[in-house]
Amino acid sequence: MMSPEQAVVASILLCLAGAVLTLLVSRNKTAAGWLAFAVTAATAVLILSAVAKVLAAGPSAHPAAFWAMPKFGFALRIHVDGLTAMFLMLTALIAVPAAFYSIAYMRHYEDYGVARYYPNFLLFLAAMYGLVSTTDMMWFFFIFWQMMTLPGYALIRFENKKPENIRAANKYLIMMQIACVATMIGAELLAVTGAKVTGAASLKYDFDTVCANLPVMLVAKPGVTALAFALFLVGFGIKMGMWPFGQVWLPDAHPAAPSPVSAMLSGVMIKTGVYGLMRYFLWLVPPSAQADYPLAKWGLVVAVLGTITLFTGTMQALKQEQSKRLLAFHSIGQIGYILFGTGACMALLPVKDPNVAVLAAIAFFGALFHVLNHGLFKGLLFLNAGSMLHATGTQDLNKMGGLMRFMPLTAITAIIASFSISGVPLFNGFVSKWSIYVAAVQGSGSAKYLAVCAVIAILTSALTLASFIKFFGVSFLSRTSLLVKVQAAKRRGLEVGWMMQLPQVLLAALCVLLGVAPVIAFNLMQAAMNASQHSYGIALAKAAPIMGGSLSGLQQINSAALFAPVVLAAVLGIVFLAALAISKLGSASRRAATPWLCGYMGETEQNRYVAHNFYGEIKRYFRWLGGMPASHKPSRIQVVPQTNLQ
């Protein structure tokens, strides 16, 4: 039986071998696709069994060293603890549907081969497995970071005949290099000054060494240590799309990539930044030094940055009229929630009160659960957007309408994803937001700003809903647009094939499952905390903030907050049937008709109410916030042949 660490290394090697093989067979798109999927699935099996082992039986006592060159302080040491396990699980969960979706999706690119796609996809995946499990803050961090950045760059500029994609990829590359440098300077500061202070030399960039040095560092060199942590925040902030860095690269990069890669970028890649933030801020400082570590101040910074990020990202998303660009801005917004939850946890952890420790743990669980949820629903949304792109050939929401009639299954998965991200109860997004609000509002006794931040987060949740009502409504509902009519007539049906439907259905099912039975996720997270008991992990594991069962749902340990989704679903179901029965009372007859247009015979394309028309007043009031789509000057007012005027 392989140890979890061996499984991670085996997965990475498997991906590398797969990259070479897919390059060799890349002339046959389908074969390369199936091969890449097989490799991804095999790594997922390895990774998930490793995760299961860690969560069930605890982590290995020590990191496993695979390759060491002590002269340079250079060693490939891998450790899979609970926190790593959660991120590994997320990576595997999103990578498999994305790889499967790619097989059919990549066939529609007529001008581009897959030689630059599948090999890079697998390298990208390998890097993410490595980045969340290495304990080396310098060399292997650098290697995995570049292994993630460079294939990512190639994937973003996949459609390299469009100049805007090349620009987007260049921006991505530059921002990622800045982030890499910032993080490495931070690590160097901790390692070098640490080595000077304590004299410990071998493997000076390893987590264990840094951990051991930090107590002395925090006392002797508080300024340098704070600078190092600030650099970590900047570096990982750039990666995860935190305000103000996220707006620079993220909204351009995500729409440029092919849709399954957008799903990976948004669902998984930006989460490595979250992983870095959690790992460096919460799992480095040993308990003995926690009195000298200003975690509450960092919590303030992170929570406030998170609040700004979630509001600006979502408000800018509200203005978008391109499907994938809209989703990309929402990635910034949702990362804001994760940051806010993490920040609330950091602000509350240092308070010496068991009740507050419970709240800190709830905030952390909320953030971690939102990482998982965002991966699921945003991955799904990008696949939906990919299917829409596949069907209509455009990302422009203004040109879409009435797709639900032509692609019902995609529509149903899209509405599940939209409900999840907007936090509708019984879908997974609600539960993670619930946890964050519960912690922040009750925690406002200890950190006053948290209540105001929580209300801004609730307001932003309504903005998210507004944006997705627009996204779903104008593309799938509304009235059939000219473009959709033309495409449907040309292609005889628009619904994507089963190979693109299956991954969407799988992700939608997971969203619903975690929404109705969130206790599964909370048990996993509790196991993860129990399996990462060092530094602040000890306090988080001890708090055990949620008790729950499949029927009784979730309950804060002192019963101050509770949510029983199964009961809610039952009640909602019963009254739904009651409403149905009431509507049948009069046994009214039913008839289909066209909408009433105040006497006009038909509706022209120009008179449709499109994405651009939504929320004019709010968009006007928040014009100063930026993010206005450049193309919103109406090219739509061209005269289209008025086919449906009689």
Partner 1 sequence: MKTLLSILGGVANVVIVLLLAPFFQGVLRKITALIQSRQGPPLLQPYFDLLKLLGKEDIESGESPLMQRFAVYLSLASVLTVACLVPMGFAAPMNAAGDVILLIYLLTLCGICTLLAGLAAGSTYSLLGISREMMTMIALEPLFAVAIVVGAVHTQSFRLDTVLNGSVYASTAFPWSGVIMCGVMLLSFQAFVQRVPFDISEAETEIMEGPLMEYSGPKLALFKYAQMAKLVIYSALFVTLFVPWGTGLMFPLGWLVFWAKVSGLVLLVTLVAATHARYRIDQAIRYFAALLAVALVALVLASYGY
Q: Which of residues 188-217 bind partner 1 (CB under 8 A)?
A: none
The CA-atom distances, in angstroms, between 197 and each of 212, 214, 218, 601 are 11, 10, 11, 83
Report cis status (omega within 30 of 0) of the bond before 4: no
The CA-atom distances, in angstroms, between 303 and each of 244, 442, 450, 463, 536 are 14, 15, 8, 19, 18
Whether 436 and 393 have beta carbons less than 8 Å apart is answered as no
Q: Which residue, 157 or 612, has its beta carbon nearer to partner 1?
A: 612
Q: How far is the CB of 600 from partner 1 (least distance, A)?
A: 10
Q: Which of 192, 544, 567, 645 binds partner 1 (CB under 8 A)?
A: 567
Q: How far is the CB of 95 from partner 1 (least distance, A)?
A: 31
Told to check if 625 binds partner 1 by CB under 8 A, we report no
Told to check if 444 binds partner 1 by CB under 8 A, we report yes
Told to check if 24 binds partner 1 by CB under 8 A, we report no
Sheet holding 546-549, edge to edge: 546-549, 553-556, 562-563
Q: Which helix (H) or strand (E) holds 89?
A: helix 82-105
The two tokens of residue 575 are 């009254």
Q: Which residue, 129 or 472, has its beta carbon nearer to partner 1?
A: 472
Whether 400 and 477 have beta carbons less than 8 Å apart is answered as no
CA torsion 346-538-285-200 (nearest 10°) is -170
Told to check if 645 binds partner 1 by CB under 8 A, we report no
Told to check if 275 binds partner 1 by CB under 8 A, we report no
Whether 307 and 457 have beta carbons less than 8 Å apart is answered as yes
Whether 514 and 548 have beta carbons less than 8 Å apart is answered as no
Told to check if 162 binds partner 1 by CB under 8 A, we report no
Whether 257 and 158 have beta carbons less than 8 Å apart is answered as yes
Q: Which of residues 471-510 bind partner 1 (CB under 8 A)?
A: 472-474, 476-480
d(C-alpha 532, C-alpha 386), whole Å: 37
Q: Which of 423, 515, 518, 537 binds partner 1 (CB under 8 A)?
A: 423
CA 226, 272, 242, 375 torsion-angle sign: negative
The 8-class DSSP code of residue 497 comes to P
Q: Which of 124, 145, 232, 434 binds partner 1 (CB under 8 A)?
A: 434
Told to check if 588 binds partner 1 by CB under 8 A, we report yes
3-state secondary structure of 339: helix
Q: Which of 197, 226, 465, 625 binds partner 1 (CB under 8 A)?
A: 465
Q: How far is the CB of 442 from partner 1 (least distance, A)?
A: 6
Whether 359 and 443 have beta carbons less than 8 Å apart is answered as yes
Q: Which residue, 61 or 581, has its beta carbon nearer to partner 1?
A: 581
Q: Contacts with partner 1: how many residues (CB under 8 A)?
A: 83
Q: Which residue, 209 or 461, has its beta carbon nearer to partner 1?
A: 461
Told to check if 9 binds partner 1 by CB under 8 A, we report no
Q: Which span (15-23, 197-205, 440-448, 516-524) binds partner 1, by CB under 8 A?
A: 440-448
Pairing label, strands 74-78, 64-69: antiparallel
Q: Which residue, 509 or 578, has its beta carbon nearer to partner 1?
A: 578
Q: How far is the CB of 317 from partner 1 (least distance, A)?
A: 13
Q: Which of 520, 560, 640, 645 binds partner 1 (CB under 8 A)?
A: 560
Told to check if 463 binds partner 1 by CB under 8 A, we report yes
Q: Which of residues 115-144 bind partner 1 (CB under 8 A)?
A: none
Q: Which of 368, 553, 605, 627 binds partner 1 (CB under 8 A)?
A: 553
Whether 401 and 346 have beta carbons less than 8 Å apart is answered as no
Q: Which residue, 163 or 586, has its beta carbon nearer to partner 1?
A: 586
Told to check if 445 binds partner 1 by CB under 8 A, we report yes
- Kindly give, in sequence order, each residue whose CB lies less than 8 Å from that of residue 353, ignoring residues fewer than 6 positions away: 446
Q: How far is the CB of 502 from partner 1 (least distance, A)?
A: 22
* Residue whose pair of structure tokens reads 């998965």 in the numeric block: 413
Partner residues linked to 556 by β-bridges: 546
Told to check if 608 binds partner 1 by CB under 8 A, we report yes
Q: Which of 603, 606, 625, 632 binds partner 1 (CB under 8 A)?
A: 603
Q: Which of 572, 628, 640, 645 binds partner 1 (CB under 8 A)?
A: 572
3-state secondary structure of 554: strand
Whether 303 and 449 have beta carbons less than 8 Å apart is answered as yes
Told to check if 462 binds partner 1 by CB under 8 A, we report yes
Told to check if 640 binds partner 1 by CB under 8 A, we report no
d(C-alpha 79, C-alpha 134), whole Å: 6
Q: Which residue, 352 or 591, has its beta carbon nearer to partner 1?
A: 591
Q: Which span (24-32, 222-230, 260-268, 582-590) binds partner 1, by CB under 8 A?
A: 582-590
d(C-alpha 321, C-alpha 295), whole Å: 40
Q: How far is the CB of 359 from partner 1 (least distance, A)?
A: 10
Q: Which of 568, 606, 625, 632 binds partner 1 (CB under 8 A)?
A: 568
Q: Which of 56, 585, 630, 637 binds partner 1 (CB under 8 A)?
A: 585
Q: Which span (86-94, 278-286, 326-334, 574-582) binds partner 1, by CB under 8 A?
A: 574-582
Q: Which of residues 373-412 bind partner 1 (CB under 8 A)?
A: 401-402, 404-405, 408, 411
Q: Which of residues 36-65 bind partner 1 (CB under 8 A)?
A: none
Q: How far is the CB of 593 from partner 1 (least distance, A)?
A: 5
- Kindly give, in sequence order, each residue whose CB lies less than 8 Å from that of residue 121, ignoring residues fewer than 6 positions away: 36, 99, 102, 151, 155, 260, 261, 264
Q: Which of 196, 609, 634, 643 binds partner 1 (CB under 8 A)?
A: 609
Q: Which span (100-108, 191-199, 240-248, 418-426) binds partner 1, by CB under 8 A?
A: 418-426
3-state secondary structure of 395: coil
CA torsion 272-154-102-263 (nearest 10°) is 30
